[in-house]
Structure 1
Amino acid sequence: MSAPAVTDAETGPLIETGYAKINLALHVRHRAADGYHAIETIFAFAEDGDRLILNDGEGVSLAIEGPFAAGLAGESDNLVTRAADRFLARFGGGGAAFTLEKTLPVASGIGGGSADAAAALRLLCRRGGVAVAEVMDIAAGLGADVPACIASVAQRGTGRGDELMSIAGDTLGGLALLLVNPLKPVSTGAVFKGWDQVDRGALGEGDPLAVALAGRNDLEPPALAIEPEIARVLALLGGQEGVTLARMSGSGATCFALFDGTEARNAAAEAIGVAEPGWWLMASRLR
């Protein structure tokens, strides 16, 4: 029998979404002495993603369900449980039994694990009455993308991606979005290792969509060398009617396209689904 759901008077069970992360542009500037790469990126987030539920429990536990649960079945040290362990060690609050409905592909460049860890921290903050500002250092210690995933809104990231700046006059919210993954996992470490170490210049300033359009993803070439099918994903996305921007996200293999409307996005999703029925697709919008 499962543990009873943690509830509050207004919202019922405590549930959070691990929103899919998209790097609209990602410029790699240099590799630091500690081995980490200095990047400049525009983070954006889909309205959809994984679903994380918090229940009372003994200690910290995680049950994983959903279409991509098998990809995490062998992990004994998941980012969700690691986040919970660190939160409870600092703030207390009793046990936490999580159920993760895994709908985002694993190792796919859209921050699934980071988004889930951020969702866990938000859940525990809600339960414990802790301000999310108080867990940002925990988030940074879990991974470079986790701090951006805490708020899951459009932001600029520098450093490892964990130095964040809000975007004034954000024009991205509501844009029609299509995510496509050929279901070929790509190692982030291998992709960064394959970067040619050429600094191709800084990310621009100004309107975030204009900056993204003028930008690039410096990890696309090494990712393509590891998994050539990414090129077909990009070609199919870029060839659809109504596309504003088509690019790979993060270290791949997920690619995204922004569209000038939902009708164009839906038509593209249908066309690509027919052409490549074995691929994963998610039609959404930017938050």
Structure 2
Amino acid sequence: MTGPTFTMLAPAKVNLSLRITGRRADGYHLLDSLVAFTDFGDRLSVSPSNDITFSITGPFAGIVPADASNLVVKAAEALADRFDIPAGLGASLTLSKELPAAGGIGGGSADAASALRLLCDLWDIDPDHPALPGVALSLGADIPVCLRGRACRMSGIGETLSPIPPLPSLGIVLVNPGAPCPTPAVFKARVGSFSPAASSIPDAWDRETVLAFLADEPNDLTDAAVTVCPEIKTILTAFSTLPSCRLARMSGSGATCFGLFDTADSAQAAATALARDPAVPDAWWIKAGQLVS
């Protein structure tokens, strides 16, 4: 089947802050998080096909499933089912996997969200259809925010998204140690009481007010994640040695950590310095770019 190919960036999702505010009876944890996205990530392409097919390329292709258990395939099947896409009108999906998997930066969720958006184009579905967020949430708690694709405040289990003022330009470096940090193990290791929700977000902010706000905002899972993956503490210490780093935190449930910088150029210089540091393990994945609002 011939036709147009649609391609989209599936950016890394970064939890700039993360408070765990409670737990539902069904076991899902409630959170309050400021979420932003980077200008780099995986890339997904779709083109017409008689069936839903899926393939993976890229440096991390070997560590994610290439079968029907992948969230990209699940997203395609869920969307086709919800909108009664007829048999014979499928899609060929190709994922270039550039982000480490299960790293707390929403790689699989961003891939699934991009699949939903691209397939809306391919199958002529209104991308603003009110049923689409429900399809996203049925696939995973992080997918609605990735479907939105803009910086926002995320609460509930991830389904409640509130707008925030546009973020100022900020450079970012992501570092992943190449070590496992399973989310269930992190939540199991978490101790202590739940946090209150964050204070009110300003109506407008510049770089300094954003950084001041985030300086008072924790990631409540950091201590637990460090017990599961001690390399996280090493990464955060490495960020603290970079004089241009304005703020460093872990994202999500780990193990990826981020450092914020005044500009994309200073972030790239910091990433280069880390990569050249003989004390930095070869297994570390280091990527620089900037936040997008």
- TM-score of the two chains, using structure 2 as the length reference: 0.90
2:166 to 155, 170, 176: 170
Partner-residue secondary structure (3-state), 2:100: coil
> Quick one: which amino acid aligns to residue 27 of structure 1?
R
Cα displacement (A) at 1:211: 3.0
User: Could you say which residue in structure 2 is the equivalent of 1:218?
Assistant: 220
How does 1:185-204 map onto structure 2 within 5 Å?
185-204=180-199
Structure 2 equivalent of residue 280 of structure 1: 285
Contact 1:22 1:44 in 2 (8 A): yes
**How far apart, in 2, do the equivalents of 1:121 and 1:47 lie?**
19
Is the aligned partner of 1:259 residue 2:261? yes
Unaligned runs of 5+ residues in structure 2 are none
1:30 paired with 2:16, answer: no
| 1:183 and 1:279 in contact (8 A); partners too | yes
Identical residues among aligned pairs (%): 40
Listed one character per residue, the Cα deviations across residues 39-69 of structure 1 (whole Å, up to 9, x for unaligned) are 0000100011000000222321210111000
User: For each residue in 1:205-248, what CA deviation from the matched residue of structure 2 results, as whole angstroms up to 9, or x when unmatched?
Assistant: 22472432210000101100001011011111122122121000
Partner of 2:133: 136
Q: Distance in 1 between matches of 2:175 and 2:147?
A: 24
Matched residue type, 2:285: W
Contact 2:113 2:136 in 1 (8 A): yes
Structure 1 residue 75: Cα displacement: 4.9
In structure 1, the partner of 2:47 is 55
Q: Is the 8 A contact 1:27 1:39 kept in 2?
A: yes
Residue type at the aligned position of 1:165: S
Worse-superposed segment, 200-209 or 136-145 = 200-209
- Paired residues for 1:5-44 under 5 Å: 6-7=3-4, 13-44=5-36
Q: Give the superposition deviation at 1:131.
A: 2.4
Within the alignment, does 1:112 sit opposite 2:104 as a pair? no
Aligned residue number for residue 10 of structure 1: none
Matched residue type, 1:268: A
Kindly report the root-mean-square deviation, in angstroms, between the aligned alpha carbons of the 2 structures. Answer: 1.6
Secondary structure of the residue that 1:25 maps to in structure 2? coil
Matches within 5 A, 1:82-161: 82-91=74-83, 92=85, 94-134=89-129, 135-161=132-158
Structure 2 Cα separation of the partners of residues 15 and 240 of structure 1: 36
C-alpha distance in 2 between matches for 1:102 and 1:280: 13
Match of 2:166, SS state, is coil
Contact residue 54 and residue 66 of structure 2 kept, 8 A: no
Q: CA deviation at 1:199?
A: 1.8
Describe the superposition over 1:245-280 as per-residue Cα deviations: whole angstroms up to 9, x where unpaired.
Answer: 100000100000110123321221112112223310
Matched to 1:16, the amino acid is: M
Bigger mean CA deviation after superposition, 185-194 or 147-156:
185-194
- The AA in structure 1 aligned to 2:80 is L
Letter in 2 for 1:206: I
* Separation in 1, partners of 2:76, 2:65: 18
Name which of structure 1's ranges 57-66 and 47-56 shifts more when overlaid on structure 2.
Answer: 57-66
Structure 1: where are the runs of 5+ without partners? 8-12
Distance 1:75 1:246 in 2: 36
Verify the 8 A CA contact 1:205 1:211 in the aligned structure 2.
no
* Partners of 1:114 and 1:197 in 2: CA distance: 28
Contact 2:151 2:167 in 1 (8 A): no
> Which segments of structure 1 move beyond 4 Å, counting only runs of 4 or more?
none
In 1, Cα distance between the equivalents of 2:219 and 2:261?
A: 19
Distance 1:198 1:75 in 2: 40
Q: TM-score, normalised by structure 1?
A: 0.92
Q: What CA distance in whole angstroms lies between the structure 2 residues aligned with 1:261 and 1:99? A: 32
